[in-house]
Amino acid sequence: VPMGILSCMKYLMFIFNVLVFAGGTCLAGVGVWVAVDPSGFQDIVAARAVLSAGAWLLLAVGIALSLLGFLGCCGALRRSRPLLLL
């Protein structure tokens, strides 16, 4: 495999993982926002239990995606197969 293709794949993998990290951070931010200030979202969601569960779910998924995106970025830059497989 030519070296240029491997370098391109490395940077594409890095960019993809940065996007996953950014999306996870945004989800976690919205989850914290809904958990801290639920009054602004009560008009959207009628049931309070659903709103609370949704906020915690968004927070958990956002943190998990941020962690996976960060580990993927580190794995892409270091060419670490275990980090990329994680």
Tell me: the pLDDT tens digits for 35-64? 887 777 766 665 566 677 788 898 999 999
Higher pLDDT, 7 or 52: 7
Give pLDDT, residue 44.
Answer: 65
The answer to whether residues 24 and 65 touch, using CB atoms and an 8 Å cutoff, is yes
Rounded to two decimals, the pTM is 0.80
Sign for the CA dihedral angle at 56, 60, 66, 69 comes to negative
d(CA 35, CA 46): 15
The structural domains of the chain, with segments of one domain joined by +, span: 3-79
Give pLDDT, residue 33.
Answer: 85
Give pLDDT, residue 42.
Answer: 66
Condensed to tens digits (0 to 9), the pLDDT of residues 10-29 reads: 889 899 999 999 999 999 99
